[in-house]
Amino acid sequence: MHEKNIEIRWRDVDAYGHVNNAVYLTYLEEARDEWLQTMLGSDDQTWEFVLGRVAIDYRSELTLKDDAIKVCCRLASMGTSSFRTREEIFAGDRLAAEAEAVVVASDRKKGCSRPLTDSERAALERDRPRRTGA
């Protein structure tokens, strides 16, 4: 699992005094991109993927008083040409949002999806939780 700390910026807050709902998606994207770069070991390789879907459940509001958040991202599952991530935003111990994203391997020259390579699969598999016991 990857964790990224992000400071809540004044511009993130709307007229109601809380972080705008769309900004939660930006926080998730920052952590997901950093996670993918870490897993693949290259900034260049992250350009070979596009976001196919994101679903988010807002659990509690964030405000400037929260100061900073922790965003967690991990592999949930893999398919032929895509994988799912499980993502969470925390303000201290308080869960602010839960999300799931589908990230698709892309052939940018052809403008379509492509199968995950063996090396991409192996790199992503490193993030799977290890089972213990029998």
pLDDT in tens, 78-122: 999 999 999 999 999 999 999 999 999 999 889 899 999 999 999
Q: Is the CB of residue 120 less than 8 Å from the CB of residue 105?
A: yes
Residue position matching structure tokens 């698709």:
104
Homologous superfamily of the 2-117 domain (CATH):
Hotdog Thioesterase (3.10.129.10)
Tell me the helices (H) and strands (E) count for the chain, helix number first. 2, 6
Q: Which tokens sit at 50? A: 């596009």
Q: Which tokens sit at 59? A: 């659990």
User: What is the predicted pLDDT for the residue at 85?
Assistant: 97
Q: Is 1 helix (H, G, I), strand (E, B) or coil?
A: coil
Q: What are the beta bridge partners of residue 101?
A: 54, 85
Q: Which helix (H) or strand (E) holds 7?
A: strand 2-7
Domain boundaries of the chain, sorted by first residue: 2-117
User: What is the predicted pLDDT for the residue at 37?
Assistant: 93
Model confidence pLDDT, tens digit, residues 23-48? 999 999 999 999 999 999 876 666 78
Q: Which helix (H) or strand (E) holds 102?
A: strand 94-107
